[in-house]
Amino acid sequence: MVRRHGGVSTLLQEEVPHLINIQCFAHGLELAVMDAINGDERMKKVTELSDKSLYKQHHYLPKAWRELKALSGVLQQKIWKLTNLGGTRWLPHVERALQTLMKDYAVVLAHMENTIETKPGNLSLKLQEDGVTLPKALQAFETALLMLTSMHSTAGESLEGFLQDSAEGQFHAMQLQSFSQESRDRFDR
């Protein structure tokens, strides 16, 4: 490891002063790309979704993997096992995981929608059941997360109506008007 304080090359240079430190160019590029990925909010969300939700659900819950495989058979599409993004920073691993997600997107999306529709139970009740196991609790959390995510991404009937009315400049058949800065100043007093 190449660090200014405590890295291998720094420690070696203390013992061998004429040692020249040469950083690996490919490793530096890897780190730069990973910093760019981690700096973008959208990419952060994609990697979190892929790693924390999809990979873990299908890796640690064999039932979820069986359901996904069965659904891929019904849809007549080949499914690839989702890979883990965490624990490594090498780009081929990240690229392979994201390519797998893109190839299997339709099947994974259909499986998630099916999971939401068929298991809309109350999270609190699921966790209070006698004999609840960790996989069942994890699946209840995943289902609740998927339900919340789907609710967040689609506007409800009331919100859609409000957004449409406000875009037209009215709400409940009343004309909406914007306030001038002078009106806002008077209101703030």
Q: How crowded is the C-beta side of 78, counted as CA atoms within 13 Å? A: 2
Asked if 108 contacts 68 with a C-beta cutoff of 8 angstroms, the reply is: yes
Mean pLDDT (whole number) for 177-183: 67
Higher per-residue confidence, 181 vs 54: 54
Give Cα separations from 48 to 62, 116, 155, 159, 173 (angstroms): 21, 19, 23, 28, 43
pLDDT tens digits for range 37-50: 888 888 888 777 77
pLDDT (average), residues 23-35: 81
The region that residue 84 occupies, defined by phi over 0 for left and psi between -120 and 50 for alpha, beta otherwise, is beta
How far apart are alpha carbons 117 and 129 in whole angstroms?
21
pLDDT digits over 1-22, tens only?
Answer: 566 667 788 888 888 888 888 8
Q: How distant, in Å, are the alpha carbons of 60, 155, 161 from that of 29?
A: 33, 41, 49
Find tokens 């910093």 and name the residue: 35
| Per-residue pLDDT tens over the stretch 78-128 | 888 887 776 556 677 778 888 888 888 888 888 877 776 665 557 777 777
Whose tokens are 């691993």? That residue is 93
Q: Is 76 left (phi over 0), alpha (psi -120 to 50) or beta?
A: left
Least confident of 7-11, 139-143, 175-179: 175-179
Q: List the chain domain ranges.
A: 1-39, 41-161
- pLDDT per residue as tens digits for the range 156-173: 677 777 777 777 777 667
